[in-house]
A and B are shown apart, each in its own frame.
Chain A
Amino acid sequence: GEQVEQRPPHLSVREGDSAVITCTYTDPNSYYFFWYKQEPGASLQLLMKVFSSTEINEGQGFTVLLNKKDKRLSLNLTAAHPGDSAAYFCAVPLSGGSNAKLTFGKGTKLSVKS
C-alpha cells in the first residue's frame, strides 16, 4: 500500500463550514509532519509543521491533530472562507536518517463556496 495516504482527494464546503483532511502513514518512527498549501498555479507554501511530541497544533485558522497510535494526521478547518480554496498536501519524512526524504500525500483540492 501507499506509504502516505491522503483523503479525500476533493472536498467542497460552504463558507463557514468545517473541513477535515486526513493522512495516514506507515512509518512509526516519523516524528515531524508537514502540511503544505498550494493555491492554483502557484508553488507549495508551508502551512504548518508538527512535531510528534505535540498532539494538537493550531495556526492560521487550522488545527492539526496527530494520533501516533493510529499513525493518522488530520488538518481541521473550523470555519472555511473562500481564501482557503487550494490544494493541501501532507508530507511525512520516511526512511529515517538525517537526510530523510519527504513523502507527500496525493493532495486534497478544497473548494470553499461563498
Chain B
Amino acid sequence: EAAVTQSPRNKVAVTGGKVTLSCNQTNNHNNMYWYRQDTGHGLRLIHYSYGAGSTEKGDIPDGYKASRPSQENFSLILELATPSQTSVYFCASGVTGGDYEQYFGPGTRLTVL
C-alpha cells in the first residue's frame, strides 16, 4: 500500500538551532508538500515540489527551506528555529494532473524552546 512516512515524529529544538524534518513516500508521486497545522489556521502550505531537484514557495515560506533530492524524499529545513515555528508539520504527496488528491504522512510535532 502506498505510504508517506515522516521522521522524526516528535522533536524538541532550541531557539536558534537547525532542524531538519524528513519525508519519504513510496507512492511514486511527482508532487510533494509541506504544511504546518496550528489551531485556528487549519493547514498552511510552506513549500512544495514538482519533482526531484525542484522546490517552490508555498503560502508561508519565510523561515523555512526545502530540499527534494530524489522522487521519494522531501525535507523541510529550519536553519534558525524560533518558538513561533512550534507546530505540527505534515508532509503529503500527490500526482501531477489528475484529481489533485493528496496523501498525508503521520505528522511531526515540533516544539522550539
Contact = CB atoms under 8 A, between A and B. Distances in A.
Contacts of A98: 96-97
A43 B104 contact: yes
Interface string B45-64: 10010100000001000000
B28 interface: no
B99 A99 contact: no
Interface of A: 6, 9, 32, 34, 36, 42-46, 49, 51, 89, 91, 93, 98-102, 104-107
Contacts of A106: 40-42
A63 B79 CA distance: 45
Contacts, number: 48
A34 B50 CA distance: 21
Given A32-B101, A34-B101, 8 more contacts: A9-B40, A32-B100, A42-B106, A43-B90, A43-B107, A46-B103, A101-B45, A107-B42
Most buried by B among A46, A91, A102, A105: A102
